Amino acid sequence: MKSSLRPLSRLLPKGVIRFDPATLQANSSDAWMASSLPEAVAFPRNTTQVSKILAYANRHRIPVTSRGSGRGYVGGCVPVRGGLVLSLVKMNRILEISPQDGIAVVEPGVITAKLASAATRRNLFYPPDPASLKESSIGGNIATNAGGPRCLKYGVTRHYVLGLEVVLQDGTIVRLGGRTHKNRTGFDLVGLFTGSEGMLGIITQATLRLIPLPPARSALLAEFSSISKAAAGVQKILGSGLLPSALEIADPFTLAAARRVIPNAPRANSLLIVEFDGQPASVKAELSLASKLLRPSTSHLKVATGEQACEKLWEIRRGFSYALRDTGLVKLNEDVTVPRGRILDLFCLTSRLQKKYRIPISSFGHAGDGNIHVNLMAPVGTRHDDPKMHRILNDLFRGVLAMGGAISGEHGIGLAKRPWWPDATSSALREIHRKIKKALDPKNLLNPGKYLD
Ligand SMILES: Cc1cc2nc3c(=O)[nH]c(=O)nc-3n(C[C@H](O)[C@H](O)[C@H](O)COP(=O)(O)OP(=O)(O)OC[C@H]3O[C@@H](n4cnc5c(N)ncnc54)[C@H](O)[C@@H]3O)c2cc1C
């Protein structure tokens, strides 16, 4: 394989194709547990180079695994079939921000938080906010259709993708959609490529929708003596006609881990974070109504008014994943989703699993969407193919599917959830996926070895 990749490096500027062991190692894994070395890593600087690389890979039947920041949670960018890792990190320019058209044009390697800040400076708003936003790339966010706390009010990444430039498996460059906010020309191919986990084409440019920056934001942190009181709070808020920009929940294990490393982490059993944004007067009124609704059941209510105070509060929430990692245990992060009315049932299920398998489980996340991060906290040294973990996940996913839920709300299927892909889909649905994959990647060279194989 190496011999068939060496000539490729001679077709491209020096440094684009790298074979050194440190680079191969650094591009062999993501934030999940699997790892596999590629034969080489490509760092293209532009779309033409991506096209050249794919045309070459097509001719020589070389597997190509695309990679953004490598912060995925399902092993999506792990090159399980070797070949070439196509890293988009060097294509990281914000090409345009147009307040007139309400759009940004970006290369895929732009870090999400960088785009969000650049938009804010122009009084514009890019809402998708995965907790990894300081590390993950726009290309990775689009390829996984990433979500975040603000999905409740603003929707997921897909709702902000107006246009894409994609390089297909044989090197053909195609542009989908564009800078208009509506476009009904043909099938929704922008939607098809969004969330396609690098298996249908390489995203080399994106035109993203920006909306006016809400002038005010305020948040509540409500502490509760039990998770059932916190879950009841979710229904109270949404049942009252309020639509917060975020509505997050956290359980006792998560908060105990947070207290070890995050200054100001609450000393509570469970919590809700409820944020509102919009015009100052409406934010004030909505916050006041939410406080009134929660006050009878909460043990403590903290209000954060304005950008800085809210961000300080979100530092606690965004620190949860990192705090769990710092426990030293192995965190198996699942992102299951249940219909919103079943959140308490989901917490009851995880509580039963903790007892049955004698394993700590941390659960927190986007209560307003019914999308909860259920983290199995496994002993040090646990591998992703551990039979006990597999049994626990079997019980978890079956329980979630029985509630009418989904095995992934944000991270995708990738490698991590591949064993449960058949449980979560009908044979007709799997057949449609296979046919689409075959039409766009007949030689199965784009990100092979993942859930469609
Ligand atoms: C601490 C932490 C918190 C997180 N919080 C969230 C969260 O709140 N919400 C959420 O949705 N996710 C979250 N994630 C998961 C992860 O950050 C997202 O899946 C993110 O979108 C991955 O982006 P990336 O640039 O790291 O992509 P990578 O991990 O590099 O790749 C992810 C997938 O996208 C494909 N891909 C990458 N770039 C391209 C491209 N240009 N063209 C085609 N395919 C491509 C890869 O092949 C792979 O299948 C979190 C992860 C961590 C570590």
Q: Tens of pLDDT along 387-446?
A: 999 999 999 999 999 999 999 999 999 999 999 999 999 999 999 999 999 999 999 999
Kindly list the strands in the beta sheet with 270-278, ordered across the sheet, starting from the edge strand earlier in the chain: 300-305, 216-224, 270-278, 246-250, 361-366, 371-378, 330-337
> What is the domain class of 328-427 according to CATH?
alpha beta
* Atom of ligand 1 minimally distant from the CA of 135: 26
Mean pLDDT of 203-217: 98
pLDDT for residue 3 = 58
Q: How far is the CA of 129 from the centre of ligand 1 (A)?
A: 12
Rounded mean pLDDT, 82-89: 98
Residue 423 backbone dihedrals phi, psi, to 5 degrees: -65, -30
Q: What is the pLDDT of residues 261-298, one digit of tens each?
A: 998 899 999 999 999 999 999 999 999 999 999 999 99
Where residue 1 falls among pLDDT bands split at 50, 70, 90?
A: very low
Q: Is 143 in the pocket of ligand 1 (CB under 6 A)?
A: yes
pLDDT in tens, 26-61: 999 999 989 999 999 999 999 999 999 999 999 999
Residue 384 confidence (pLDDT) = 79
Stretch 154-181: mean pLDDT, rounded? 98
Distance, CA 140 to ligand 1 centroid (Å)? 4
Domain map of the chain by residue range?
2-87, 94-212, 216-321, 328-427
Between CA 372 and CA 263 the distance in angstroms is 24
Residue 409 makes CB contacts below 8 A (sequence gap 6+) with 147, 335, 336, 337, 366, 369, 370, 371
Evaluate if residue 306 carries a pLDDT over 80.
yes
Check residue 64 and give its pLDDT. 98
What per-residue confidence (pLDDT) applies to 114? 98
Question: Which tens digits make up the pLDDT trace of 337-353?
Answer: 999 999 999 999 999 99
Q: What is the pLDDT of residue 47?
A: 98
Ligand 1 contact via 218 beta carbon (within 6 Å): no
Task: Say if ligand 1 is within 6 A of residue 28 CB.
Answer: no
94-212 maps to CATH 3.40.50.140: no
Q: Which is higher by pLDDT, 229 or 318?
A: 229
Question: Which residue CA neighbors atom 15 of ligand 1 most closely?
Answer: 72
Residue nearest to atom 52 of ligand 1 (CA): 132
Task: Give domain 216-321's CATH architecture.
Answer: 2-Layer Sandwich (3.30)
Q: Are the beta carbons of 437 and 199 closer than 8 angstroms? A: yes
CA-CA distance, 161 to 47, in Å (whole number)? 19
Beta-carbon contacts of 203 under 8 Å, excluding residues fewer than 6 positions away, are 66, 88, 108, 139, 142, 143, 164, 165, 166, 193
- CA 419 to centroid of ligand 1, rounded, Å: 20
The CB of 73 under 6 Å from ligand 1? The reply is: yes
Question: From the CA of 335, how far away is ligand 1's center (Å)?
Answer: 13
Q: Is the CB of 108 under 6 A from ligand 1?
A: yes
CA 107 to ligand 1 center in whole angstroms: 15
- Residue 420 amino acid letter: W
Would you state the pLDDT for residue 264? 86
Mean pLDDT of the residues in the chain: 96
383 pLDDT band, cuts 50/70/90, is: confident
Residue 72, ligand 1, Cβ within 6 A: yes
How is domain 2-87 classified at the architecture level of CATH?
A: 2-Layer Sandwich (3.30)
Q: What is the mean pLDDT of residues 56-68?
A: 98
Q: What pLDDT score was predicted for residue 220?
A: 96
Q: Please tell me if the domain spanning 216-321 has the same topology as the one spanning 328-427.
A: yes
